[in-house]
Structure 1
Amino acid sequence: MLRINRKLLQMDREGKKVQVALIGTGKMGRGLIAQMSRIPGMRPSVVVGRTLEKGKAAFLTAGVSMEDMVITNQLEKAKEAVQKGRFVLTEDSDLPFQIDAIQGVVDATGSPIFGAELAIKTLDAGKDLISLNVELDSVIGPLLLKRAEEKGLIYTGSAGDEPGAIMELSDFALGVGFDLLAVGKGKNNILNRSMTEDDLRQTALKQGLSPRMLTGFVDGTNTMIELTGVGNALGFVPDIPGCHGPKATPENLSRIFSLKEEGGILSGYGIVDFAFGMAPGVFAVVTSKNEDVKKLMGYLHMGEGPNFILHRPYHLTSLETPLSIYNAIVEREATIAPGCGQVCDTVAVAKKDLKKGESLEGIGGKSCYGMIVSHSTQQEENYVPMGLLTEGAVMKEDVKKDTWMTYAMVDLEDTTLLRLRQKQDIMEWGGSGEV
C-alpha cells in the first residue's frame, strides 16, 4: 500500500498526475480536498457542489490561491483550466464526464438517489468510480460492480470508511493465513432508533453535520448500511436481524463473538456485527486450526484463543480516500467491492405509527430506520430496502411503529435507483458480481 508514496512522486517528476472529479463538498468532500492538495501526483481537478463557497473555502484553507481556481459551468472553460493545471469549481455535475483528462470520479454525496444517476454516468463515460456513498452501494452495489467490470473499469468503496477499513483488516487476516470468523465496527454514537432530526439538531450543528446525517447514525441506519456493504464484499451475514451490538472491549471481544456453545453469543460464524466500546475502530475475529499458530498468538500477547481479535482503533473517513483513488486508477484494484453479490440488505422499519397517504422520508428522516438482514430474508419477506425511500414515497396503508416495511405497504417514487434495483433483483449472481 505504501508504494503510493514512491509511485506518485515518480509520476509527479515525470509530469503525470492522477486527476479526479469530486462530487460533494460536505464534511467528507472538504477533508478530501485538503488531503489531495498536499499529495504530489494527485489532484482534485474538478470539484462539483451545490454550494460553491464550500469548495472555494476548502481550497483556500488547503493553500490554493484564487488565481488557481476557475469557477465555471462552461465545458470549454473547464477543459482549458484543467489542461493548464488549475482547479475547476462548478455546479454542473455533468461537466466531469465530458473532460477526457478526468480519470475517475469520487462520489461524496451520501445520496443514493442522486448517486445512482451519478454512478451510471461515470461508468458510461469510461471513468473509474470511487465511492464514499455506502448508502448507494448497499442497494445496487453488485449491479454497479458488474457494469464496471464489463467496461474494464474499477468500482470501489473508500479506504477510511468503516467498510473499507474492515475489508483491509480482513484482507490482512486472510492474507497471512487466518480463518476469518466475524468482522465489525465500533458504534460511534448512542443507539436510539426513535431519534429524529428535531431531537439532534443542535448537536448536529455543533459537530458541523446536517441533522439528517447525524440522525442516520444515531438511529442505527448507517451502521446497518455499512455492515451491508461488508457482508456483500465478504459473503457474511448478520447472526440475527439487526445484529447483536454487544458492549465489548478489545480484551473480551473475541470471547463475546464466539459460538454459544463456546460461551459466546453467536449461532454461527461468517457474520457481521457492531459493538459498543470499540469505536472509532473496526475489528476482525480470527482463529487457526494449527496449534503452533495458536500458541504463538498467545506468546505474542494476543489472548488465550481459540479466537483472537485483530483491532484497528481508528478510521479516518475521507482523509484515507486518496489511497483508494490511487489503487483504483493506478493499480487497478478496489479497496472494497460487493463481489459476492447482494448477500445482505438494510431494510426499512417504521420509526413511528404511519398513516395511509403519509409521505415518507429517506435515511435520517422521521419515518423509518434501517435494519440489516440477509438478502434471502429480504426477498422472502418482500422487505423494502431503506435506500429506496424518498420524500416521494407514500404509504398505501396504516402501519404501527416498528413494523418491518414491505413493498406492498409503500408506493415508491419511480427513480433510476428503483429501476436499477429491480433489474438487479432479477439477476442471478455468481462470484465477482457476474451474472
Structure 2
Amino acid sequence: MNLHAKLLQRQAEGRPVRVGLIGAGKFGSMYLAQIPRTPGVHLVGIADLSPSAAQANLARVGWEAQRTQAGSLAEAVKTGATHVADDWRSLVRHPAIDVIVECTGNPVAAVEHCLAAFKEKKHVVNVTVEADAFCGALLAQRAAEAGVVYSLAFGDQPALICDLVDWARTCGFPVVAAGRGHKWLPHFCESTPETVWGHYGLTPEQAKRGGLNPKMFNSFLDGSKPSIESTAVSNATGLAVPSNGLLYPPASVEDIPYVTRPKSEGGVLEKKGMVEVISSLEPDGRKIPYDIRMGVWVTVEAETEYIKNCFEEYNAHTDPSGRYFTLYKRWHLIGLEVGVSVAAVALRGEPTGVAMGWNADVVATAKRDLAPGEMLDGEGGYTVWGKLLPAATSAAMGGLPLGLAHNVKLLRAVKKGQSLSWDDVAMDTSTDAYRTRRAMEAMFAPASSRSG
C-alpha cells in the first residue's frame, strides 16, 4: 500500500525507475498514457517494429513532441526524454534500464525478449500472457536464476485474479474458486475475424474507427483468451482447472457464490479450489443484469460457524448456506494499471503474479475440419481456438500449445473440435519459444503424465 510513497521518494532522490517498453500498440499505449502522470518513473526507450506508429500513438495519448526527441538511449537517460526506435536488443542491453515491459502480443517474440532481458539482469513485466501460458514456469525460473523478477501485468485480468487469491489466502480464507467474466455462448468457439464484431456487439465501422484488430478481439471472444488467462492464473496460484475445458456458467454478480460451489453442494465445480470463467449471457443469449463480464472475482469459504456468523453480521452476500462469499472487482483497466507491476518489481522485488509450476495448459483445438497442408493461424484466427486443459492431460497427449500454433503447417487431417498434438504439425524447432516450452515440459511435466 506504499508504492506511491516509494515512487515519490525515488523522484525526490533523482533516481527514477527506468523503464524500457517493447511494443507500443493498444495495451502499450494505455500504459504510455499514464507514465507522465506517475512520479518516479522514466520511460527511457520504446522499441517497436514501426517507430512511426509508436510516435503516432504517443501523440494520440497526449505526449508532448519534445519528450521523444532523444537521439539515443544514452541521451534519453541524461535528459529524461524517451528514445523511440525499432531496436529492442539495444533497449534490453542498456545498463541504465531497470524494468522491461514486454507488450508485443507476439508470444514467440515475447519469449525471446524475456530471456534476453533476464541475461541483462532486467526485471520483466510480461503483458504478453500468451507466452506465459505455454512456458511461464520456466520463464520464472530463468528470471530467478538471473536474480531478477518476472511478473504478470497488473491491469490484465490474470494479475488481478492473483491479487484477489492472495488477499483471500493472506486473510486465512480457503479459495473455493477464482476467475474472470466473459461474454460466452458455446458457438463462439467457431468465431472468425469475419464474424467477431457481430458477436462482440460492435459494428465493423465502430471497430475500424477504434483501430481494433479483429483477430485479437476474436481471440477474446472465441474462448482462447479466457483459457490463456485461466492457465496463467492456475500456474501462478496452484488452483486446478476443469478436466475438459472451461464451463462458463452463466451468473450475475449476485449469483457467483451460488454457482462457484462444488457440484455436491449445488454448484458447477468438480471440486473446491478451481479456476472458472463466468458468462454474462444466459444460454439463450439474453444478457444477465449486473454481470461480471469485464471483471474478476474470488469465492472463499467460511470454515467455522463463527466466521459464517461474521459474514451474516456484516451483510456479506453469500450462497444460501451462508458459507460461500464472493469478493469481486467489476472492471479492469488493462494497460492503465501496468504501473503497479512496474513499481512492485522495481521497488519491492515482488511480482504481481508469477507461474510457480505447470498445472494447466491451452491446447490448440480445431474450429472446423482441417486438411493436411493447411497453415494454422493461431489464437483468434480461422483454424484453431484454445482449450483449457490440465497440464497432465496436455502432457499425456503431447498437446500443441496455442501460443505456438502460428504459421505452422498441418501434417495430417484434424476433425472439428479435436485438440492438436505436436505430431499433427511441422514445427519450427529453432526458436527460443519452442526450446523453452520443450524444456519446461521436461522439467515440470506432472508425474502422472510421465508414468508408463
1:45-194 → structure 2 map (5 Å cutoff):
45-70=44-69, 77-188=72-183, 192-194=188-190
Alpha-carbon shift at residue 36 of structure 1 (Å): 1.1
Asked if the contact 1:109–1:133 (Cα under 8 Å) also holds between the matched residues in 2, the reply is: yes
Cα pair distance change 1:212/1:353, threshold 3 Å: same
Please give the secondary structure, in 2, of the residue aligned with 1:126: coil
Q: Per the alignment, do residues 214 and 62 of structure 1 end up closer, same or farther by CA in structure 2, a change over 3 Å counting?
A: closer
* Percentage of identical aligned residues: 30
Match in the other structure for 2:346? 329
Equivalent position SS for 2:177: strand
1:14-413 maps to which residues of 2 (within 5 A)? 14-70=13-69, 77-188=72-183, 192-200=188-196, 202=204, 204-277=207-280, 278-302=292-316, 303=318, 304=320, 305-339=322-356, 341-391=357-407, 393-413=408-428
Q: List per-residue Cα deviations over 1:91-110 (Å, max 9, x = no partner).
A: 11112122111111001111
Give the C-alpha shift of residue 71 in structure 1. 6.1
Contact map agreement 2:3 2:347 (CA 8 A) in 1:
no
- Structure 1 residue matching 2:268: 3-state secondary structure: coil
Deviation of the 1:80 alpha carbon: 2.0
1:433 is aligned to none
Q: Distance in 2 between matches of 1:376 and 1:210?
A: 34
Q: CA deviation at 1:54?
A: 3.3
Alpha-carbon distance in 1 for matches of 2:127, 2:109: 13
Give, in whole Å, the separation in 1 of the partners of 2:436 and 2:62: 41
The residue identity in structure 1 corresponding to 2:401 is: P
> Any conservation in 2 of the 1:185–1:275 contact (CA below 8 Å)?
yes
Counterpart amino acid of residue 282 in structure 1: V
Classify the secondary structure of the residue corresponding to 2:6: helix
CA offset digits 1:205-240 (Å, max 9, x no partner): 344321110111111100100000000011122223
Q: Which residue type is aligned with residue 101 of structure 1?
A: A
* 1:198 Cα deviation from its structure 2 partner: 2.1
Instruction: Give the match's secondary structure for 2:88.
Output: coil
CA separation of 1:188 and 1:317: change in aligned 2, threshold 3 A:
farther
8 Å Cα contact 1:395-1:411 kept in structure 2: yes
Cα pair 1:239 1:268 within 8 Å, conserved: no
Q: Which amino acid aligns with 2:315?
A: H
Q: Residue 37 of structure 2 aligns to which amino acid in structure 1?
A: R
Which 10-residue stretch deviates more, 353-362 or 223-232?
353-362
Rounded Cα–Cα distance in structure 1 between residues aligned with 2:392 and 2:100: 32
Inter-partner Cα distance in structure 2 for 1:383 and 1:97 = 32
Query: Which stretches in structure 2 are left out of the alignment for 5+ residues?
Result: 198-203, 281-291, 447-452
DSSP 3-state at the match of 2:315 = coil
What is the CA deviation profile of residues 35-75 of structure 1, one whole-angstrom value per residue up to 9, with x for unaligned ones? Answer: 01111111222111122233223433455332231365xxx
Q: Distance in 2 between matches of 1:241 and 1:185?
A: 18
- What's the TM-score, normalizing by structure 1? 0.93
Structure 1 partner of 2:287: none
**Residue 249 of structure 2 aligns to which amino acid in structure 1?**
P
Letter in 1 for 2:69: V
> Which residue number in structure 1 is paired with residue 449 of structure 2?
none
Q: Cα–Cα, structure 1 residues 63 and 212, in superposed 2: closer, same or farther, change >3 Å?
A: closer
* TM-superposed deviation, 1:167: 0.7
> 3-state DSSP class of the match of 2:371?
coil
Residue 89 of structure 1, CA deviation: 0.6
Shift of 1:289: 1.3
Q: Structure 1 CA distance, aligned partners of 2:43 and 2:115?
A: 20
Q: CA deviation at 1:189?
A: 6.2
Aligned length: 423
Q: Is the 8 A contact 1:45 1:82 kept in 2?
A: yes
Secondary structure, aligned partner of 1:297: helix
Cα distance in 1 between the residues matched to 2:123 and 2:111 = 15
CA RMSD in angstroms comes to 1.7
Name the CA distance, whole Å, in 1 between partners of 2:44 and 2:185.
38
